[in-house]
Amino acid sequence: MDLVQLRYFLDVAETEHVTKSAQRLHVAQPALSRSLHRLEDELGSPLLEHVGRNIRLTPGGRLLRDRVAPLVRALDGVAAELAALDEEGERTVRISLMSASSIAIDAVTAYRAAHPGTLFKIGQGDRGFEADVLVDTVPATASADAALGGGKAAVSLVEDILAAVPADFPLAGPELSLRDLEGCEFVCLAGSRRFRGICDDLCARHGFKPSVAFESDNPSVVQRMIGLGQGVGFWPEISWGSPDRSSVRLVRLAEPDFQRRIVVGTPSRTRASAESLKFLDYLAAHLRAAGFRTN
């Protein structure tokens, strides 16, 4: 018993006429009759009986029709569903935001406005998320490979890391050194976030250890806590944008190496869709326009 036999049987069950079904199915009538007889032999039960010049289903034939018809309809729909799934996959951009998430979401919003048929699946802070596009951060001195693991980088950009201090923080000049922040309580990202690791390494390089009073794995919480005057912190100049200047002041650090690198690209072992590659180029241009520097 195969699918062709079942299709033939269902058509005859509908027309109750072998000749009409042969014409509809574009097969010779003898071939159709032989197929029906083989099906009856395989099942060991008559499925059709003659009534004058027509035929009708036996009780066994009605049972087979009722059981098989939904299955064949479901199988007929599989090809269309698979085609739709492939089409959706080609229109879907899977993006993993490990860093610069706010500005990347701005790019997603603008891209969708221009390409409303594009779908996005976004993973944030999840290194297990299977993505076509990855936005991550590494030390400014590191290569893009450190983030992409052998994948292809579309752009590798640098931004300064500033000190974020309360608006009334006493300043002796246009910049601060780490020593000016000794004794201050720090609000920081949690240690699991790469930006935190970059800042800790830079501080250690200069023999400075921040006194951490608050930490969170959510950048928005860190920004808010600094704004509420709960401490000082480190602030990526472009990624986090401008704070409320009535409560927070951003000051450049005297240490010139306080920078980080933002890497945008496709991870290794990823077959990115054409739409993902288009968005990748768009995102790279968006970041450059926002003020990130090539270096």
How far is residue 16 from each of residues 8, 37, 68, measured CA to CA in Å?
12, 15, 17
What is the DSSP-derived secondary structure letter of residue 244?
Answer: -
pTM tops 0.85:
no
Six token digits for residue 11: 């058509």
pLDDT in tens, 40-74: 999 999 999 988 778 899 999 899 999 999 988 88
- In the block, which residue shows the tokens 């005859």? 12
Distance CA 152, CA 187 (A): 34
pLDDT of amino acid 132: 86
pLDDT of amino acid 193: 81
pLDDT of amino acid 34: 92
Q: Domain-by-domain residue ranges, the chain? A: 3-85, 98-294
**Do the first three CATH levels of 3-85 and 98-294 match, i.e. the same topology?**
no
Six token digits for residue 91: 């229109």
Six token digits for residue 29: 């009538």
Residues of the chain with pLDDT under 70: 79-89, 125-129, 146-147, 149-151, 192, 268-270
- Largest CA-CA distance found in the chain, in angstroms, rounded: 109
Strand partners of residue 97: 124, 135
The CATH number of 98-294 is which of 3.40.190.290, 3.90.1010.10, 2.130.10.10, 3.40.50.300? Answer: 3.40.190.290
CATH T-level assignment (fold) for domain 3-85: Arc Repressor Mutant, subunit A (1.10.10)
The SS3 assignment for 285 reads helix
Secondary structure (DSSP) of 219-234: HHHHHHHHHTTS-BEE
pLDDT of amino acid 194: 87
